[in-house]
Structure 1
Amino acid sequence: MRARTKARTIFFLCAIEVLALGFSLSSAQAQKIRIAVSNPDMSFLSGGVAKFKGFFAEEGLEAELIQMNANVSVAALASGNIDYNLILQSVVTANLRGLPLKVAGILIERPNHAIVVHPSIQKFAELKGKKIAISSFGSLVDILARLTSVHFKLDPKNDIQFVAAGSSSARVAQLQSGVVQAAFVTPPGNLRAEAAGFKTLLSVGDLFAFPVNGIGVHEQKLKNNRDEVKKVTRALLRANRFILDNPKGAIKILSQWGRSTPEVAEEAYQFSAKNYSRNLLVSKPTLEKVLESTRWNVESKKNVTIEDVFELSLVREILKEMGETPK
C-alpha cells in the first residue's frame, strides 16, 4: 500500500515538473516584438485586441505596444528599435522619402476623423474663409483636411486657412478659445468637443475611403523574417474581425486599455468601428489616392508605385489559407 502511494506521489511530482517545463519552454520560445501606436484608443484598437485577447500569444509572439508620435515611430522602425509601426501615413511618407519601409496590411480603410464646429455651422461650405485646426502640416490630418475641402469643391490653398494645433485636445481648445472655427479630431476628441457645446458636423469616413492605419514593417524583416510578419498580420486580422463581430468585447478592451469609461468607449466604437477592414485589403485606386496625396508634401526623387510601398501578398496568402478569396 505504501509502495503504491509512493509511486503515485512520484508520478504526480513528475507530472508537475513536466508541465512546468512545458510552460517554461513555451515562455522561452515566445518571440518578443515591439509595436508602435500613437495612442491606446479606437484608432489603434487592432493592436490592443491582438495583445489582450491573446492573438499575438497564440502565434508565439510576446508583443509590447509602445506609444510614440509619428516621426519618432518612423525613425525607430528604420533603425530597428521597433519591429512594427501601425501609424500608416508616417510609413508611407517615409517610403516616399527613400526609407526602406513598407506596409504589409491595411487595418482601417476609412478615416476615423470627425469635423467639430460651432452649432451655428450647418454645412462644410460655410467654412470658406474660416480657420480649421489640424495636427501638423504634412500629417495625415492635413491630408484628410485637404481632401475633404476638395470633396466639397473648396480650394484648400485659398478658401481655407489651416492651423497646426497639435493633439486632438489642443485642437478642441483652439476651437473653444475662438482661434479656429472648426477642428479635425478623432474619438474621443469629438465627444469632448460636444461636451463643451460644439457639434460634430460630419464623419470624414462617410465621404471617402482612405487608409489611416496599417502594418508598417522594415523591408529587411519582410525579406528575412516573413514568417514573423505573417504571424503578426494574422493576429491583427483576427483582431479586426473580433472588433467588427464582437462589439461588447471590443468596447471592454478599449475601455480598459484606453482608461476611459465604458460609455466613452462605446461612443468611440459606434463612431469608428465601421471603418475597420475585415480583410486588411483595399482597392488599388484607394492606394493610389494615398500615394498621390502624400506627394503633396513630399518630394520623391523616383516614381514610386503602389508595389513599392504596399506589400500585401502575405494578407492574400493568409486569406487563401483560411479558404477565402482575396478581393
Structure 2
Amino acid sequence: MDRSSLAKKRRRFALGFTAALIATIASGIANAAEISKPTSLRVAYSAITVNQAIPWIAYEAGHFKKHGLDVELIHASSITALQALLANEVSIAQSVTDACVSSNLSGADTLFLGAILDKPLYSFIVNPKIKTPQDLKGKRVGVTRFGATPDALARAMLKMWNLDPATDVMMVQLNEMGLLVQGLVNNVIDAAPISIPGNIRAKNLGFTELFDMTKIGKTYITGTVVTRKRFIDSQRDTAKRFMRGFLGGMKTYLEDEDFSIKVIQKWTRAKNRDEIREAYALQARNMLRIPRTSIEGVKTILEGMEKIPGAKTADPRRFIDSTILDELEKEGFLKTLYKN
C-alpha cells in the first residue's frame, strides 16, 4: 500500500473516531440533562396564614430545587385543596388537617406526612360586647369552611363551654381566614377562631380574645403535610425529596428570622411588619423541630368526628405515614439539619 492510500485511511479513521466520540459525548450530555431535569410537583396551601409559611420559605430559599424538585405552589381553600388532592391535580396539600381524617374515614387514602405544630395557634376572637362564653348564645360564629380546621376548633370550643353549635349559635362560612377578620369589622359575624397573624390584626383593631386556644389543654395538630398513600407508593423518591425540602424550610424558618418574615410578608401581602414579626415569633416558639404527626393529635380530631361512622373505633395510626421521616432519620438527614 502506498503512502497516499495509507494517509487517506488514517484520515477516514480519525474522522470516524471523532464523529463517534462527538456522538458519545452528545448522548452523555443529553442523558445527564435528562437525569438532572427537576421533577415537577404541585402543592396546594390552604390559607394565607403563618402556619402555611414553610412551603413558601422552602420555595424561596431554593430547598426544593436543591433536591431536584420544580414545585408549583397553588392557593386553594382547605376543602378545594383536598378535592384537588383526591383528583390528582396536586400531590401534596398543606394544612387540610381535619379534612384529611374525614376523607380517610370515608374511604380515601389520605395520610399525614408530618405536622409542624401540636397545638392550635388560634384565638377565639369576639366582638368587644361579648364578655363571657354564654354571651355567644344567639350570635354568629364565623368559620372558613364547614369541615375545615377552624370549623372543628369552633365546635370544640363551643362544646367546651356547654354550647350546642347546632342550636345555640349560627355558624357562618366565610371561605378564607382573612375574611373572618373582615367579617368582624363589617359586623357580618360576632366571633371566630382566627389563626396567626389574623388574630393579632383583630386584637389591634379592638376586638377581644375570649380564649387563647394554645391553652385548650389537648394536643391538636396544625400546619400538616397531607398526601395520598398511592403517591407515597408510586413516587416514594419524590415524596422523600419533598420532605427534605420541607425540612430545609423549617430550618430556615427557625434560624433566619429576617428572611422568613420577608417571605411571609410577600406571600400574605401583609403590610404591618410588627404583626408578622409577632406571629413569626409565636410560631417559632411552638414549632416542632422534627414534624412528626402526633398520635394524640389525631385522636383529638377523631373525638370531634364521633358522628362519622368508624371514627370512635379508628386507630389513629392509620392516618399517619411515618416511614418517610423514619427513612430520613435512618439515613442521617435529620441530624444534619440543625447546629444544635
- Name the TM-score class by shorter chain: 0.7 to 0.9
Residue 257 of structure 1 corresponds to which residue in structure 2? 267
> Of 33, 37, 40, which aligns to 1:25?
33
Cα offset, 1:144, TM superposition = 0.5
Query: In structure 1, how many angstroms separate the alpha carbons of the residues matched to 2:334 and 2:87?
Result: 37
Residue 273 of structure 1 corresponds to which residue in structure 2? 284
Q: How does 1:1-327 map to 2 (within 5 A)?
A: 25=33, 28-89=36-97, 90-124=99-133, 126-128=135-137, 130-157=139-166, 159-207=168-216, 208-261=218-271, 262-296=273-307, 298-300=308-310, 304-320=314-330, 321-322=332-333
TM-score by length of 2: 0.77
Mean Cα deviation higher: 120-129 or 314-323 = 120-129
Cα offset, 1:160, TM superposition = 4.2
TM-score by length of 1: 0.80
Q: Structure 1 residues 275 and 102, CA, compared in 2 at 3 Å: closer, same or farther?
A: same
Query: In structure 2, how many angstroms separate the alpha carbons of the residues matched to 1:167 and 1:88?
Result: 13
Whether the 8 Å contact between 1:117 and 1:198 is mirrored in structure 2 is yes
* Amino acid aligned to 2:74: I
Cα offset, 1:302, TM superposition = 10
SS at match of 1:163: strand
Q: Structure 1 residues 185 and 26, CA, compared in 2 at 3 Å: closer, same or farther?
A: farther
What stretches of structure 2 of length at least 5 have no aligned partner? 1-24, 336-340
What stretches of structure 1 of length at least 5 have no aligned partner? 1-16
Cα offset, 1:123, TM superposition = 4.7
Aligned residue pair count? 304
Mean Cα deviation higher: 190-199 or 215-224 = 190-199
Query: In structure 2, how many angstroms separate the alpha carbons of the residues matched to 1:49 and 1:323?
Result: 18
Map Cα deviations across residues 233-272 of structure 1 (whole Å, 9 max, x no partner): 1221222232233322211211123222333421332343
Whether the 8 Å contact between 2:49 and 2:268 is mirrored in structure 1 is yes
Q: Percent identity?
A: 24
* Amino acid aligned to 1:69: S
SS at match of 2:304: helix
Query: In structure 1, how many angstroms separate the alpha carbons of the residues matched to 2:281 and 2:128?
Result: 22
